[in-house]
């Protein structure tokens, strides 16, 4: 099971940290062990590290309206997203 890191900017870090939405939408597509991170030098830069059972399934999900709605709810700026896969 690969571990991935996703970094991106958000509109409001406190709101993003408190939101249950990411867990609600990612767990059903096989994502587990979600950990959140914040950049101490750039207040709106955040990241996730998570285990992914099926990368193709996750990447397909990221193209859906449900993913877009979840990101909008959490204040994610999707154009800033960077996916890194553990090697």
At 1, is the secondary structure helix, strand, or coil?
coil
- For the segment 9-19, the average pLDDT, to the nearest whole number, is 97
Domains of the chain: 3-85 (3.30.70.100)
The predicted structure's pLDDT at residue 1: 84
How is residue 87 written in tokens? 């090697």
Round to whole Å and give the CA distance between 77 and 73. Answer: 11
- Report the 10 Å Cβ neighbour count for 9: 19
The predicted structure's pLDDT at residue 3: 97
- For the segment 59-71, the average pLDDT, to the nearest whole number, is 97
The pTM score is: 0.91
DSSP assignment of 33-70, as one string? Answer: EEEEEE-SSSTTEEEEEEEES-HHHHHHHTTSHHHHHH
Read off the pLDDT of residues 50-61 as tens digits, 9 standing for 90 and up.
999 999 999 999
Whether 15 shows a pLDDT value over 90: the answer reads yes
Write out the H or E segment, with its range, that includes residue 63.
none
């Amino acid at each position: 099971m690969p571990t991935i890191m996703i970094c991106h900017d958000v509109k409001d870090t406190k709101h993003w940290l408190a939101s249950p939405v990411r867990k609600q939408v990612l767990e059903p597509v096989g994502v587990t062990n979600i950990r959140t991170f914040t950049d101490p030098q750039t207040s709106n830069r955040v990241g996730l590290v998570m285990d992914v059972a099926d990368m193709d399934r996750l990447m397909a999900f990221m193209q859906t309206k449900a993913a877009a709605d979840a990101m909008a709810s959490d204040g994610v700026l999707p154009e800033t997203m960077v996916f890194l896969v553990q090697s």
